[in-house]
Amino acid sequence: MRALIVDDEDLIRTSLKRVFEMRHHEVFVAENGQQGLEMWQAHDPELVILDMLMPGLTGAQVLKKIGAQTRSKVILISAYTGEYDVKKASELGATLFIAKPFQNIFDVVDRAEKLVENGK
């Protein structure tokens, strides 16, 4: 699959990219909301992992701009667990919400793969 990772934390982008590439997926990375939006429109990925709090455009703003035009599965990730949960994420147009910190990065990628599998 083609996966887009949008997060302003370098280490998170790097580690997620590693695992996806280990599993032979094509990965695009963006380090802020604006860049993420552009790459989303350019590459039409099957999966987008989108951080909530970023400088410039936030995850929620990116989702709003993309609107209904996308068929990508979206996983929202955030450290602000108090404010965002699964319900809120689906209201925003995301398919899944995963709280940071991750307990295990392989689990995260497993869930992403399943999401895309099931959606087919």
Residue 15: which residues within 8 A CB-CB, separation 6 or more? 105
The interface region with other proteins, picked from 18-26, 27-35, 37-45, 60-68 by CB under 8 A, is 18-26
- 27 is a contact residue toward other proteins (CB under 8 A): no
Q: Please state the length of the chain.
A: 120
- 118 is a contact residue toward other proteins (CB under 8 A): no
- 105 is a contact residue toward other proteins (CB under 8 A): yes
15: left (phi over 0), alpha (psi -120 to 50) or beta: alpha
- Provide, rounded to whole angstroms, the least separation between the CB of residue 32 and other proteins: 14
CB 75 within 8 A of CB 48: yes
The residues of the shown chain that bind other proteins, judged by CB under 8 A, are 9-12, 14-16, 18-19, 22, 79-80, 82, 100-102, 104-106
